[in-house]
Structure 1
Amino acid sequence: MCIGIPGKISQITDSMLARVAIGGVIRDVDLTLVGKYDQNGNSRLGQWVLVHVGFAMSVIDEHAALDTLAALQNMYDLEPDVGILLYGEEKR
């Protein structure tokens, strides 16, 4: 099973890379699978995406993103190993 972690796109580079905020950690994420622009030609800057192994797998709405982050935080409260997904290496 794989899990996608919600993150908000905070910066898009000239290539297909973006800086995405996930649990307070900024990560480089590849946008190849979702594109830098939506179907209307608008930038994905500020949009939420599900991230798995460095790739944005899909675009999600903010409500779904925040619900997923809350569920992951609840899991973290019970099982601290989940923290690596939310907070990166720093909070192991």
Structure 2
Amino acid sequence: MCLAIPVRIEELLDEQSAVACIGGLRKTINVALLDDLKVGDYVILHVGFALQKLDEAEAQRTLALLAELGRLAEAEQAAQGEAP
């Protein structure tokens, strides 16, 4: 399954790359497809490429839903006696 996730731009390196915060980890990503990025902007990231800008409220809602999905998956695994 492919998944695009919201990430926050932490640092702009050049016109084509930036550092983003992904679940507390910092990763260099490709931002060549987007214009006018600033530190603090949220983008949708898929396989290392920023695809579009996203407003902070929508990014936070999406991240909260993804976290909830993770908790539900862990609970389901625990109920089935599997290790997370």
Shift of 1:15: 4.3
* Pairwise CA distance, 1:2: 3.1
2:39 is matched with 45
CA radius of gyration, larger in: 2
Aligned equivalent of 2:68: 74
Hey, what's the Cα distance between the residues in 2 that align with 1:16 and 1:65? 22
Q: Which amino acid aligns with 1:73?
A: A
Could you tell me the TM-score, scaled by structure 2's length?
Answer: 0.79
Q: What stretches of structure 1 of length at least 5 have no aligned partner?
A: 38-42, 81-91
Partner of 1:65: 59
Q: Deviations over 1:14-72 (max 9, x none)?
A: 2411000111111111001113x2xxxxx422100010100001100000000000000
- Distance of aligned partners of 1:34 and 1:15 in 2 relative to their CA distance in 1, 3 Å threshold: closer
Contiguous gaps of at least 5 residues in structure 2 = 75-83
- In the superposition, the TM-score normalised over structure 1's length comes to 0.73
Question: Residue 44 of structure 2 aligns to a residue in which SS?
Answer: strand
- Correspondences of 1:1-92 after superposition (within 5 Å): 2-35=2-35, 37=36, 43-80=37-74
Percent identity between matched residues is 35
State the one-letter code of the partner of 2:49.
F
Q: CA deviation at 1:3?
A: 2.0
C-alpha deviations, 1:66-91, integer Å up to 9, x for none?
Answer: 000000001100225xxxxxxxxxxx
RMSD: 1.7
